[in-house]
Amino acid sequence: MEEVVPTTTPSSLTFAQGDEAVVESVATGVAQARQVTLQRDAEGAINILRRLDTPAAREYRALRIALHTAKAVAFLTQQTRGLGLGYMSGTGFVVKRLDGPRCGRTSIFSAPSYFRTRAVCLGAVAGFEYTQSLLVFTSDEELHHFIDGEGFVGATLSVTAGSDMLRNRAARPKKVARTQSNTLVFTIAAGALANLSLKVGWTASDHAMNRKLFGTLTLFGTNEITPRQLLSGLVESPVVEFRPLYCVLQRYAMRRPYD
């Protein structure tokens, strides 16, 4: 009897090839979503920085000076709403200026590390407000305390009616809790909100977003990545999506402070 030679590959290899195809398809979708997210966030950050080009205002000049020597900058978007009690939620990212050249490095700024903030406003709150903020860190201690997470408690008295209003004068330093350093904050606001309350909340790294954007995809999920890894330059900066933002930040870093 003539021996029949199998013409198909073993089923184990077929399953392996199928798994590889699934991983490749998922990786492609993740890469596309990553690109859209990073480009959107970079454009939002640039819109905030462009407001600093408005000439002559003292508070803008103070921030330009701070950006010239900044260790890191953060961009934050927040929403506050309430009728009686209020609730504030926000997300953002921070990028750090890297120290010195390193082999293979394509940017003098780190990859972004994402964070989120939440707070409850106890008091009298009525309306809705949308804000965008730029935070300038001038010391490593201040930055590390921020990315490690912190709670905060503070009284708030504010009224917003309209759009693109300064909530915090950039020339006025805002102290970061439990540090001796000061952070300059530039904020624009839109909406209609009356807020007389005690704000109790926290800020923490958004590990899920960092893992989604910069973790390594495997068959068993996505590897964890820490904010310190992102901000130390160990993770390649997204130079394609963040190039316009990096160029603006570099312009401020190289610019004479009093221009």
Q: Which amino acid is at 58?
A: R
State the pLDDT at residue 35. Answer: 84
Q: Which residue has the higher pLDDT, 134 or 64?
A: 134
More confident residue, 11 or 176: 11
Tens digit of pLDDT for each residue in 36-83? 889 999 998 988 887 766 655 556 677 777 888 889 999 999 999 999
Residues 203, 152 contacting (CB under 8 angstroms): yes
Q: Which amino acid is at 100?
A: G
Write down the pTM of the prediction.
0.77
> Alpha-carbon Rg of the chain, whole angstroms?
23
Q: How far apart are CA 125 and CA 127, in angstroms?
A: 7
Q: DSSP letter string over 80-103? A: EEEEEEEEEEEEEEEEEB--S--T
Number of residues assigned to the chain? 259
Kindly report the number of other CB atoms within 10 A of residue 6's CB atom. Answer: 6
